């Protein structure tokens, strides 16, 4: 038989490949983790985090930048910041910190996380904290408090001009405070608007600096920040925006000697299909060489380079595993596999922005395959998943005829970024489909893989309490 799921995978992709393989029983291994064994131990549905991937990703980016810096004799440093918004969980943020990263914040409550991390001795007052986002008064107050408490490397990045007035009023540091300016980028023509709502208009930045910051001994403009909504891509829009921002950096640098950092934000992509093909080394190399080229042409010193990778740091740590509960045939062609949870509540990006994730069955790779639609348990008509990144269809093994046999299990992989932040963790859920249990997998001190339950499946009581039925 050459139409098994195994055949399909081998005909379509290079397999096995980094992070994905099968074991002797032909069930899936994700980064060496036996997913079938986790299913046997914990039952589905569950989310899992493979923590060691974080260190691997941080090391990969640091190496790419240091290689490019060496190759181009670039006279600036590279700083890896983790943007907490992609996952605020303590076990995630603390793991990133073990790998020597700095942090980027987005909202006032992030500063409470920073304070906790300091109390737990996970960071020092020298850790670089880049404060991004449109600032509420509570956020600017919390940032000012951090600086007043002696955190020496906090860099508030101005998202608009008025924000600066808040710091002038509330920061009482004896030493000059470093600040940044986020430059609003132009989006691709296919996007819903032209210019990002985040940041200060590019053509206003120079005048703002001259009028408001230059000559103020309390504040130094240290960083220029930009972030393309569509991420770091090898296309004309990315290189054109990078060049524009670099020219602005050079103009400013000539009148602002303290300026010494360029923050290129996040946006390094991750694998959403086994067909993923992205040349990370080429992109990093091009970024470093472009910065050097533009600075040389303008006869200014190159900046230190900061990044704030969210998806890249933690996206590939995550997976969500479901059982297929049953098969429904709704017409001559469309077969639905009903999963034991909901896409809306566990992978909201699939529903909200049509995001695709890398999807593979865990077992039954020896069965024939067929095209199916995947359906979630909520009654929302959009709770489905019917196409993949590389093909406008979903193929999965056929279910066994005998009702008593083991169910088909499926996994969505590289789901570690943003999904819990968007779905909410706990709380009220569509049709009261609970948040699934969450398993963490890591290596112990002896290098042996161990798994532990971070959170149980959400209970009905937790929802009834919020809904006011029980105290």
Ligand X SMILES: Cc1ncc(COP(=O)(O)O)c(C=O)c1O
Q: Which residues bind ligand X (CB under 6 A)?
A: 83, 86, 104, 132, 227, 231, 265-268, 308-312, 417
Least CB distance to ligand X at residue 58 (A): 13
Considering the complex, state which of residue 311 and residue 346 has its C-beta at the smaller distance from ligand X: 311
CB neighbours (10 Å) of residue 22?
17
Give the residue at shortest CB distance from ligand X: 266
Which pair of structure tokens corresponds to residue 15?
């397999």
| CA–CA distances in Å: residue 371 to residues 7, 20, 454 | 15, 22, 35
Minimum CB separation of residue 36 from ligand X in Å reads: 30
Cα–Cα distances (Å) from 363 to 6, 248, 391, 407, 438, in that order, read 10, 54, 21, 9, 21
Phi, psi of 124 (to 5 degrees): -115, 175
SS (H, E, C) 258-307: CCCEEECCCCCCCCCCCCCCCCHHHHHHHHHHHHHHHHHHCCCCCCEEEE
When the beta carbons of 197 and 333 are compared against ligand X, the nearer one is 197
Burial of 271 (C-beta count, 10 Å sphere; 0-12/13-18/19+): buried
Q: Cβ of 57: how many Cβ atoms within 10 Å?
A: 24
How far apart CA 330 and CA 372 sit, in angstroms, is 11
- From the list 128, 131, 130, 170, the residue with the least C-alpha distance to 148 is 170
Structure token pair of residue 420: 């819990």
CB of 133 to ligand X, least distance (A): 7
- From the CB of 411, what's the least distance to ligand X, in Å? 22
- Taking the least distance from each CB to ligand X, the nearer of 57 and 342 is 57
CB-nearer residue toward ligand X: 267 or 318:
267
Q: Quote the least distance from Cβ 446 to ligand X, whole Å.
A: 33
Give, in order, the Cα–Cα distances in Å from 148 to each of 102, 125, 144, 145: 19, 11, 6, 5
Nearer to ligand X by Cβ, of 245 and 339: the residue is: 245
Nearest to 449, CA basis, from 457, 440, 458: 440
Task: Supply the minimum distance, in Å, between the C-beta of residue 261 and ligand X.
Answer: 14
Q: What is the largest CA-CA distance in the chain?
A: 79
Residue 120 C-beta: closest distance to ligand X, Å: 24
Q: Considering the complex, what minimum distance in angstroms separates the CB of residue 413 from ligand X?
A: 17
**Whole-number Å distance between alpha carbons of 208 and 200:** 9
Pick the closest to residue 291 from 196, 224, 206, 236 (CA basis).
224
- Distances from the Cα of 181 to the Cαs of 232, 241, 355, 373, 431, in angstroms? 20, 16, 31, 46, 44
How is the beta sheet containing 33-34 ordered, strand by strand? 20-22, 28-30, 33-34
Closest CA to 342 of 408, 455, 419: 419
Query: Please, what is the minimum distance in Å from the beta carbon of residue 132 to ligand X?
Result: 5
Q: Considering the complex, what minimum distance in angstroms separates the CB of residue 467 from ligand X?
A: 32
> Of 106 and 127, which has the nearer Cβ to ligand X?
106
């Amino acid at each position: 038989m050459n139409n098994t799921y195994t055949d399909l995978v081998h005909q379509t992709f290079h397999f096995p490949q980094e992070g994905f393989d099968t074991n002797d029983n032909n069930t899936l291994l994700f980064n060496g983790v036996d997913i079938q064994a986790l299913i046997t131990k914990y039952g589905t549905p569950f989310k899992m985090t493979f923590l060691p991937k974080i260190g691997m990703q941080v090391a990969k980016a640091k190496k790419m930048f240091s290689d490019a810096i060496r190759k181009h004799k670039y006279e600036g440093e590279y700083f890896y910041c983790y943007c907490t918004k992609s996952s605020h969980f303590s076990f995630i943020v603390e793991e990133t910190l073990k790998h020597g990263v700095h942090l980027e914040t987005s909202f006032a409550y992030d500063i409470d996380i920073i304070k906790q991390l300091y109390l737990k001795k996970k960071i020092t007052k020298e850790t670089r904290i880049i404060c991004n986002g449109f600032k509420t008064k509570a956020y600017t107050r919390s940032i000012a408090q951090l600086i007043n408490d002696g955190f020496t490397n906090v860099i508030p990045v101005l998202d608009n001009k008025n924000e600066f007035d808040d710091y002038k009023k509330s920061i009482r540091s004896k030493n000059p405070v470093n600040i940044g300016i986020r430059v609003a980028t132009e989006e691709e023509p296919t996007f819903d608007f032209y210019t990002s709502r985040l940041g200060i208009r590019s053509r206003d930045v120079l005048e703002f600096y001259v009028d408001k910051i230059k000559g103020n001994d309390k504040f130094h403009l240290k960083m220029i920040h930009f972030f393309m909504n569509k991420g770091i891509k090898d296309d004309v829009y990315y290189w054109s925006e990078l060049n524009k921002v670099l020219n602005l950096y050079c103009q400013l640098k000539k009148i602002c000697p303290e300026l010494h950092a360029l923050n290129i934000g996040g946006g390094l992509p991750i694998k959403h299909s086994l067909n993923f093909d992205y040349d990370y080394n080429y992109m990093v190399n091009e970024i470093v060489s472009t910065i050097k080229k533009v600075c040389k042409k303008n006869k200014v010193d190159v900046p230190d380079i900061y990044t704030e990778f969210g998806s890249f740091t933690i996206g590939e740590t995550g997976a969500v595993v479901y059982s297929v509960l049953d098969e429904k045939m709704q017409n001559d062609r469309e077969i639905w596999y009903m999963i034991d949870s909901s896409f809306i509540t566990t992978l909201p990006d699939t529903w909200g922005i049509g995001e695709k994730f890398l999807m593979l069955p865990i077992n039954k790779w020896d069965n024939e395959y067929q095209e199916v639609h995947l359906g979630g348990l909520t009654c929302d008509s959009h709770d489905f998943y019917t196409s993949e990144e590389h093909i406008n269809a979903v193929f999965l093994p056929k279910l066994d005829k005998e009702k008593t046999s083991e169910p088909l299990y499926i996994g969505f992989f590289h789901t570690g970024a943003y999904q819990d932040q968007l779905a909410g963790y706990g709380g009220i859920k569509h049709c009261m489909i609970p948040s699934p249990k969450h398993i963490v997998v890591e290596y112990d001190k002896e290098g042996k893989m161990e798994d532990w339950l971070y959170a149980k499946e959400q209970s009905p009581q937790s929802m009834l309490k919020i809904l006011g039925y029980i105290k």
